[in-house]
A = this chain, B = another copy of it.
Amino acid sequence: MRILLVEDDAETADYVARGLEEAGHVVDRAADGQDGLFLATGGGHDVMVVDRMLPKLDGLSMVRAARAAGIATPVIFLTARAGVGDRVEGLDAGGDDYLAKPFAFAELLARINALARRPPLQQQVTVLRVGDLEMDLIRRTVIRAGRRIDLQPREFRLLEYLMRREGQVVTRTMLLEGVWDFHFDPKTSVVETHVSRLRVKVDKGFGRELIHTVRGAGYVIRADG
């Protein structure tokens, strides 16, 4: 999930961004309302987390402007003030939720999930399965045929990306964007290298291969054939 974080306090921003990234999300950051609005209008975010008090352009105005520009992305406001009046103001401006500082990160995460219209925690997909390969997203473990497989962070993201698109050919460009956050061509064989490493761990010694190369196109993960 791609989340836009607009927060001027560096400490809070770092904390939130770190937590979100640990939870597997991609975070775009802005330190003031002007930059925030710019990024927001770029679109492509699933949720925005916006501080009310911001330099240059306050959070309320930023969200109003974004809404006026046709951006419908759900918004959660962060604020030091927690009065009812503020809450109404925030919701009026097009905010969807509201969180008073200081807040527990776990709560923010729960609200983000709620807003993104994802089913609540217990119901989300937490286990991906392709053939006899199994990935538990919460425990962060991968098991094939009963044997645990240890993966590096990047390998884990790569495998997750593939497994979420079982049977679908995934292009290099998709991988570079979704797994590496590269929005350009590195002109190296990063992807191939990691697919190779992944194969050694996931496919080698298990007989049937799951990761297949589609020449000229990309890769697929698939249980059959």
Interface of A with B (CB < 8 Å)?
11-12, 14-15, 18-19, 21-23, 26-29, 35, 38-39, 42, 44, 102-107, 110, 114, 120-123, 138-141, 148, 152-153, 167-169, 171-174, 177, 183-185, 187, 214-218, 220, 224-225
Contacts and interface: CB of A to CB of B under 8 A. Distances in A.
Given A26-B107, A105-B177, A139 B187 contact: no
Nearest to A184: B15
Main secondary structure, interface of A, reads mixed
Contacts of A18: 172-173, 185
Contact of A185 (B15, B29, B141): B15
Contacts of A171: 19, 22-23
Given A141-B167, A216-B153, A225-B148, A122 B28 contact: yes
Given A12-B184, A171-B22, A173-B18, A42 B122 contact: yes
Contact of A29 (B15, B120, B215): B120
B11 A184 contact: yes
A44 B120 CA distance: 13
A28 B105 CA distance: 18
Given A105-B183, A177-B106, A184-B12, A140 B42 contact: no
Contacts of A104: 177, 183
Contact of A153 (B174, B177, B215, B220): B215
Nearest to A181: B104
B168 A138 contact: yes
A171 to B, nearest CB: 4
B102 A183 contact: yes
